[in-house]
Amino acid sequence: MLVEVVPTYDAMSDRALEIVATQLREKPDSVIGFATGSTPAGLYSRLVDEHRGGRLDFAQVTTFNLDEYVGLPPDHAQSYHHFMWSHLFAHINVDPSRVHIPGGTADGIDETCRRFEEAIEQAGGIDLQVLGIGANGHLAFNEPGSSLGSRTRPKPLTESTIRDNARLFDDPEEVPRHAITMGIGTIMDARQLLLLASGEGKANAMHATLEGPITAMVPATIVQLHPHAHVIVDDAAASNLEYKHHHGIMEPYGRRLV
């Protein structure tokens, strides 16, 4: 696991862009896993700028998203379909047939999950998976207590996650109580992980993730076991870390995943 602490959210987004852009330039037909939320939004705006500037081509890229709410149609303002198309896919030359986001309203959710796993396998696996982290240490919608070997499946959301997401809805009662999510085992199958965290609200989760024991009660701790995990946190999210030697760790080793 390679940890990099940078001063600000913008610096985190800039470094994330370097890593994703390098992946796409070295392998134009990469399979990229994407996350939603405010943390990767800066990365996505930078990817759009790179494409508009003629520096990135997405024509051969295949994408898989981590999760989607159950019960929200794709055009709902808070659906993850809507988020990804609004922030990224509508502004780049990705082939819509290569975009995969779990169908939160599909009949037969178990079958939807099975087909999603099958599509990842048929695509050759995920080359680079972008991740955020919840304040309670969840990855995607793998809440505390989730199996560390789990696959794509429906999951109930914890009350803390529902409260965190309520700010995005006009009425807190509208917040979905279930989601379809990639499992921890599915995420760990990706060849590379890029975990991003920003803000003081993520400081406790990052302390547990990077410096605590591996436990299903903090699902993000599993990244400690991934052979090619790159974690980028800003100073605020790193404020509870005990081992400040993480700062500047990239300089002596170059800018490659190890």
Q: Judge whether 67 counts as a catalytic residue.
A: yes
Nearest of 230, 233, 232 to residue 256 by alpha carbon: 230
Q: Judge whether 136 counts as a catalytic residue.
A: yes
> Which position among 136, 207, 235, 246 bears the catalytic label?
136
Sign, Cα dihedral of 75, 80, 83, 88: negative
Print burial letters for 71-91: b (CB count within 10 Å at least 16), e (below 16).
ebeeebebbbbbbbbebbbeb
> Which position among 67, 68, 127, 164 bears the catalytic label?
67
CB 183 within 8 A of CB 142: yes
Burial class (CB within 10 angstroms; exposed 0-12, middle 13-18, buried 19+) of 1: middle
> Which position among 138, 207, 226, 246 bears the catalytic label?
138
Q: Judge whether 143 counts as a catalytic residue.
A: yes
> Which position among 50, 68, 127, 143 bears the catalytic label?
143
SS3 of residue 252 by DSSP? helix
Catalytic positions are 67, 136, 138, 143
